[in-house]
Amino acid sequence: MTETLTAPTVEYGADALIVCDNLVRIYQVENIEVQALQGLDLLVEAGEMVAIVGQSGSGKSTLLNVLSGLDVPTAGAARVAGWDLLRMSHADRLTYRRTVVGFVWQQTGRNLLPYLNARENVMLPMAFAGIGSTTRRKRANELLDAMNMGHMANRRPGQLSGGEQQRVAIAVALANRPQVLFADEPTGELDSATGDDVFEALRAANRDLGAAVVVVTHDSTVSGQVQRTVAIRDGRTSSEVVRRTRITAEGVTEVIAEEYAVLDRAGRMQLPKEYRKTLGLKDRVRLELEPDHIGVWADGTPHRPKPHPTAIPQPNPVEAANPPPIVRPPAPPTTDGSPAFPAPSDAPHLHFQAAPERPSPEQQASAGHPLAGMAHEAEAPEGANPYTPRVPPPTASRPKGTPDEGGEQ
């Protein structure tokens, strides 16, 4: 019997703290159904700080309400720290909101009870969780000190500014040591300076207390200071901006921000509006698979022929008929200003050089030339013609029939 072994299927987002898999949320408004979330995918790791941005009605606040346990999703999957948000009972949902997540609203009046001071507001969630009074008081003082609000622990919300109330609200949300802190427009009602203080408190919650922070915001200043910015459009995640820190060769630390399009599990991807407008992409597009990328063309764009990988490139006939002119550098001038040699023309030139003069025998002898002795040995006897060849010439041809001397005819 042959046993077939198959590799175990890894669940989507198995190691992530927050998992949204094809998440759907539909509202019923009278007789009209509104799809706030239309198959949204999202992963958030433990200890991460993420900003969620999008236009009004894109679904970002609905997503935050679902993840915080204030709303129930219609379909898909949503898990936070191992809790299945679609299958929780009412009691489980209450425990989840008290111990697993914390929430900060945009409206400062929704975060704090007006008749309790700052310390008492922070201690209240711990009292609901059954923590002793001594531990509650100590924990509240530590959180207020972390938010730079320890000196105002005895003041009520009406005696605090908007930014101070939000920092106390963050301390309240962190009272029971949640794994995730959700904030819905925490700086929406604050000026820029006060908003920076509130965001620094959120950063301290992430950095010092180890809580993952998910912020919904319209403020570009806030979204530009987190590790990852997720944009939502039409109920789906459309793009992400990931920021990384690197050190240059000069030793300077700089932040690199790269924008990515999000490809969901169904293979859907939203192209940015400016890209579609520039290239005229609408209705339907043509796709072509290349070795290292996917080509996207507007409908009606002519196909471009693909060169054969082994084809030899042929010269352009127009360029072959009209070759570019030959450009030569000018000749360097001499001391008197005239060129050292005439400027060359396009036609080829032949250069001739005279053979060196051969030295006489006397010059060779005086110079100790190895062939000088041979000249003296070859001298002719006195009175003889010096130009007479030493080898006798061959016998001249005679007419046919002339007898040789001493021979036969």
In the chain, which residues fall in CATH 3.40.50.300? Answer: 18-261
| Residues whose CB is less than 8 angstroms from the CB of residue 370 and which lie 6 or more positions away in sequence, other chains included | none
Q: Do 235 and 36 form a contact (C-beta atoms < 8 A)? A: yes
Q: Using alpha carbons only, what angle is made at residue 67 by residues 62 and 73, rounded to the nearest 5 degrees? A: 65
| Residues whose CB is less than 8 angstroms from the CB of residue 55 and which lie 6 or more positions away in sequence, other chains included | 233
Q: Do 60 and 42 form a contact (C-beta atoms < 8 A)? A: no
Q: Do 129 and 99 form a contact (C-beta atoms < 8 A)? A: yes
Distance in angstroms (rounded) separating the CA atoms of residues 51 and 225: 9
What's the pLDDT score for residue 51? Answer: 92
What's the pLDDT score for residue 310? Answer: 60
What are 102-125's pLDDT values in tens digits? 999 888 778 899 999 999 999 999
Q: Do 199 and 2 form a contact (C-beta atoms < 8 A)? A: no
What's the pLDDT score for residue 403? Answer: 52
Whose CA is closest to 219, among 190, 254, 239, 253?
190
How far lies 278's CA from each of 148, 268, 274, 281, 288, in Å? 49, 21, 6, 8, 19
What's the pLDDT score for residue 375? Answer: 47
Tokens describing residue 97: 């909101």
How far lies 254's CA from each of 1, 61, 219, 230, 257, in Å? 61, 32, 22, 21, 10
Give the strand pairing for 294-298 and 285-289.
Answer: antiparallel
What are 251-304's pLDDT values in tens digits? 888 888 888 888 877 788 888 888 888 888 888 888 888 888 888 888 888 877
Q: Which CATH superfamily is domain 18-261 in?
A: P-loop containing nucleotide triphosphate hydrolases (3.40.50.300)
